[in-house]
Amino acid sequence: MIDVLGRIIGEGDVVTYPVRQGSYLWVNAGRVLSVESDHIRVLKYEEGEGRVVSVRNTENVTIVERDIAIVDRACMTDTLLGV
């Protein structure tokens, strides 16, 4: 899955995504728990406790913070493979 800027969405990334209910439109944020074939599962940030939601329209998702450990592992794998 890729975000609106063409970056690959990974587990642990913090993302924002638009939500619409009737004529109201707002932006939610949360941390990606898993990336499935047709959606991502996000732990939505709320006051107090979070809630897990499925985001299907990932073309409107924007990554606002990367999980550095995951990025470092991907870079290390590329280096080991000579990519």
Q: What is the pLDDT of residues 49-63, one digit of tens each?
A: 778 999 998 889 999
Position 54 in a domain: yes
Q: What is the pLDDT of residues 4-29, one digit of tens each?
A: 999 999 999 999 999 999 999 999 99
Residue 33 lies in domain: 14-81
Whole-angstrom Cα distance, residue 40 to residue 18?
A: 14
Position 19 in a domain: yes
For residues 52 and 42, the answer to whether their CB atoms sit within 8 Å is yes
For residue 70, give the amino acid letter: I
Looking at the structure of the chain, the number of domains it has is 1
Query: Please, which residues have CB within 8 angstroms of residue 10's CB and are 6 or more apart in sequence?
Result: 32, 35, 66, 67, 70, 71
Position 3 in a domain: no
Position 39 in a domain: yes
For residues 12 and 32, the answer to whether their CB atoms sit within 8 Å is yes
Q: How much is the pTM?
A: 0.74
